[in-house]
């Protein structure tokens, strides 16, 4: 059988796919690839170089991959056809068409035997044998047999398994396998996950189907109750079930949201109301519609105008705005508002912190700033409603990272901070993301580095450059790779 081994590695923003064909003969592998003599990176030509991870960097020498330490010493022989960086103390390596794993001394911990091998994450790694995927632990033992079409990380400490378009799970902590028998599986909430097999039900973390798949729609449990939909006399109605699967509140609603602090907003026979956990009406709402029933703070319509209410039905923001489309509902306590085609911001206390005046406004994704657009120019406002960067740039990052964002003017990149300061004039052809307090810059087709206060510490002179990590960065000049420190000195 012909086997093909693949590794997808990211090389400074470019995806490279490499492969080679396996030999039919039985191959005997060495037990260690540790260097037995002292050879340093500055004594050889580096064809490729990667940033340091776990105090070791992957390099390519004479068309083979090996590893160096912080002194530039080659500590693991460059003998691998393809290799990955270290993760959790192990690195996936490929030799003669088979993948295995080595440790930081170069010892073979898991013998080459797989058609594909991927990096360890949370003490497991995905591998491929023939046409199927499985998962191994750091000793090389299969925790999930290689018999699935795909094995990928899921949420809450589970692996997602796919076989013939059916879904299953593997519980990493409890080592429980749930075979792929479902069309869809939701995330675990309050110990239960929704599953679909024609209709919807729930299973527990052991994979036991505790609520039969008999509902047209279900929502994750909230405060011990789940909104479910069933057909009643030919119409879809919503009710609430408890964790036994029985109805705690019967299916009589035309729309229903999750319970929050003992209350939920529902509609029955065209009337919106707030109910308690017994299904009793706590408050009738004088509104026409609820736009986003699943959000904690719900956008509602009153006579053609829109505002926001809390889980008890009390108005946070009075209905005087146009319909707003917000991806993140009051994220960072801020919401976008629209009036007469202009955008502004309100907060969770009901204050209009920025009156609608912009042509567009993005949600606050983190604590720093929101992106706004006026007359085709971009800027930022902060959570206090202050315009910290006047709309003046052709484009800006959607979010600030650690208080810094890239801006673009006339095709050139610069940097601003959350204090409203232009820390780097828009003059570069490209600016990368910050890593280890440094970012790549490109000018006249050459690469250099700036620090996080905007100082150009390494002049653009290199053909290529990778990110700083652990105080060093790989750079390329005239076809050879080197490592420099944060002052720009070539270390090796």
Average pLDDT over residues 271-288: 97
pLDDT for residue 81 is more than 60: yes
- Tally the residues of the chain: 492
Residue 124 lies in a domain: no
Query: Has residue 85 been placed in a domain?
Result: yes
Asked whether residue 374 is domain-assigned, the answer is: yes
Would you tell me how many other CB atoms lie within 10 Å of the CB of residue 464? Answer: 18
Report the pLDDT value the prediction gives residue 77, as an integer from 0 to 100.
96
Question: Residue 123 pLDDT > 90, yes or no?
Answer: yes
Query: Which pLDDT tens digit goes with each residue over 333-385?
Result: 889 999 999 999 999 899 999 999 999 999 888 888 889 999 999 999 988 88
Kindly state the DSSP code that residue 24 receives in the 8-state scheme: S
| Residue 156 predicted with pLDDT over 90 | no
State the Cα–Cα distance between residues 130 and 162, nearest whole angstrom: 16
Pair 158, 170: CB distance under 8 Å: yes
Structural domain contains residue 236: yes
- The answer as to whether 348 is a domain residue is yes
Task: Tell me how crowded residue 65 is: count the other CB atoms within 10 A of its CB.
Answer: 27
Domain coverage including residue 415: 326-421
pLDDT for the residue 5: 35
Task: Summarize pLDDT for 468-482 with one digit per residue, the tens.
Answer: 999 999 999 999 999
Q: Which pLDDT band holds residue 264 (cuts at 50, 70, 90)?
A: very high
Residue where a domain stops, chosen among 117, 132, 163: 117
DSSP 118-143: ---BTTBEEEEETTEEEEE-TTS-EE
For residues 281 and 274, is the Cβ–Cβ distance under 8 A? Answer: yes
Regarding predicted confidence, which is higher, 101 or 11? 101
Note whether residue 390 is domain-resident: yes
Confidence of residue 327 (pLDDT cuts 50, 70, 90): low
Tell whether 167 is covered by a domain: no
pLDDT, average across residues 403-412: 96
Q: What is the mean pLDDT of the chain?
A: 91
Q: Locate tokens 């065209």: which residue?
A: 270
Instruction: Give yes or no for a contact between 380 and 400, defined as CB atoms under 8 angstroms apart.
Output: yes
Secondary-structure percent of the chain, ordered helix, strand, coil, rounded to 5 = 0, 60, 40
Q: Which residue stretches of 76-212 are H helix?
A: none
Question: For residue 421, is pLDDT > 50?
Answer: yes
359 and 318 in a common domain: no
CA 4 to chain centre: 29
> Could you tell me the pTM of the whole model?
0.85
* Res 76 pLDDT > 90: yes
Is the dihedral angle over the CA atoms 416, 421, 424, 429 positive or is it negative? positive
Q: Are residues 313 and 341 in the same domain?
A: no
C-alpha distances in angstroms, 348 versus 230, 400, 422? 35, 22, 30
pLDDT tens sequence across 16-30: 323 333 333 334 457
330 & 410 share domain: yes
Q: Say whether both 113 and 2 belong to one domain.
A: yes
**Residue 274 vs residue 364, higher pLDDT:** 274
Q: Is the pLDDT of residue 12 over 60?
A: no
How far, in Å, CA of 196 to CA of 199, rounded? 5
- Record the tokens describing residue 146, joined without a space: 């290689």
DSSP strand pairing (184-189 vs 315-321): unpaired
Query: Whole-angstrom Cα distance, residue 461 to residue 458?
Result: 8
- pLDDT, position 457: 97
Q: In whole angstroms, what is the distance from residue 266 CA to residue 293 CA?
A: 8
Over residues 229-245, the pLDDT tens digits come to 999 999 999 999 999 99
Neighbours of 395 (CB within 10 A): 15
- Average pLDDT for residues 420-443, to the nearest whole number? 96
Number of domains in the chain: 4
pLDDT digits (tens, 9 = 90+) for 168-193: 999 998 899 999 999 999 999 999 99
Q: Which pLDDT value is given to residue 328?
A: 65
Q: What is the pLDDT, as a whole number, of residue 159?
A: 97
Indicate the pLDDT class of residue 149, thresholds 50, 70 and 90. Answer: very high
Element of type H or E holding 234? none
Looking at the structure, tell me whether residues 93 and 213 fall in a common domain: no
Q: Is residue 153 part of a domain?
A: no
Q: Do 15 and 111 reside in the same domain of the chain?
A: yes
Tokens of 116: 């594909």
Share of the chain above pLDDT 90, in %: 83
Q: Are residues 308 and 319 in the same domain?
A: yes
What is the three-state SS of 51-64? CCECCEEEEEECCE
pLDDT digits (tens, 9 = 90+) for 192-211: 999 999 999 999 999 999 99
263-268 β-sheet, strand order: 255-256, 263-268, 271-276, 281-284
Single residue among 271, 306, 323 that ends a domain in this structure? 323
What separation in angstroms does the CA of 311 have from each of 285, 342, 474?
Answer: 12, 28, 53
Q: Are residues 88 and 188 in the same domain?
A: no
> Are 217 and 95 within one domain?
no
Cα 22 to the center of its chain, rounded Å: 34
CA angle 5, 85, 64 (to 5 degrees): 60
Domain edge (last residue) among 323, 338, 360: 323
Of 58-67, 73-82, 250-259, 318-327, the poorest mean pLDDT is in 318-327
């Amino acid at each position: 059988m012909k086997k093909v081994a693949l590794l997808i590695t990211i090389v400074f923003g470019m995806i490279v796919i490499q492969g080679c064909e396996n030999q039919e003969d039985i191959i005997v592998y060495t037990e260690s690839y540790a260097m037995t003599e002292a050879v340093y990176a500055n004594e050889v030509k580096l064809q490729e170089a990667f940033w340091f991870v776990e105090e070791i960097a992957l390099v390519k020498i004479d068309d083979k991959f090996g590893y160096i330490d912080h002194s530039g010493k080659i500590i693991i022989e460059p003998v691998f056809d393809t290799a990955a960086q270290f993760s959790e103390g192990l690195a996936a390596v490929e030799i003669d068409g088979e993948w295995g794993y080595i440790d930081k001394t170069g010892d073979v911990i898991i013998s080459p035997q797989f058609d594909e091998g991927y990096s360890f994450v949370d003490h497991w790694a995905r591998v491929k044998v023939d046409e199927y995927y499985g998962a191994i632990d750091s000793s090389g033992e299969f925790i999930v047999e290689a018999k699935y079409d795909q094995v990928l990380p899921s949420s809450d400490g589970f692996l997602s398994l796919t076989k013939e378009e059916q879904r299953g799970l593997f519980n990493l902590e409890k080592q429980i396998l749930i075979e792929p028998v479902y069309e869809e599986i939701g995330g675990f909430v309050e110990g239960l996950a929704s599953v679909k097999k024609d209709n919807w039900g729930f299973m527990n973390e052991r994979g036991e189907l505790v609520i039969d798949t008999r509902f047209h729609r279900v929502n994750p449990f909230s405060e011990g109750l789940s909104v479910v939909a069933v057909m009643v006399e030919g119409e879809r109605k919503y009710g609430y079930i408890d964790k036994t699967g029985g109805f705690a509140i019967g299916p009589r609603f035309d729309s229903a949201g999750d319970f929050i602090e003992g209350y939920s907003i529902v509609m029955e026979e065209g009337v919106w109301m707030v109910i308690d956990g017994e299904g009793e009406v706590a408050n009738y709402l004088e509104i026409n519609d609820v736009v986003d029933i699943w959000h904690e703070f719900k956008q509602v319509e009153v006579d053609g105008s829109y505002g926001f209410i809390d889980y008890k039905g009390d108005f946070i923001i009075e209905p005087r705005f146009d319909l707003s489309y917000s991806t993140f509902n009051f994220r960072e306590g801020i919401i976008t508002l629209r009036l007469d085609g202009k955008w502004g911001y309100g907060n969770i206390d009901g204050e209009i912190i920025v009156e609608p005046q912009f042509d567009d406004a993005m949600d606050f994704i983190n604590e720093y700033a929101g992106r706004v657009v006026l007359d085709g120019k971009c800027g930022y406002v902060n959570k206090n409603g202050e315009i910290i960067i006047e709309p003046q740039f052709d484009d800006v990052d959607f979010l600030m990272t650690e208080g810094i964002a890239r801006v673009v003017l006339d095709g050139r990149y610069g940097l601003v901070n959350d204090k409203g300061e232009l820390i780097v004039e828009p003059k570069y052809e490209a600016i990368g993301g910050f890593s280890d307090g440094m970012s790549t810059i490109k000018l006249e087709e050459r690469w250099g580095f700036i620090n996080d206060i905007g100082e150009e510490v390494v002049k653009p002179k290199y053909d290529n450059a990778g990110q700083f990590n652990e105080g060093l960065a790989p750079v390329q000049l005239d076809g050879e790779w080197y490592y420099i420190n944060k002052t720009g000195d070539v270390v090796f």
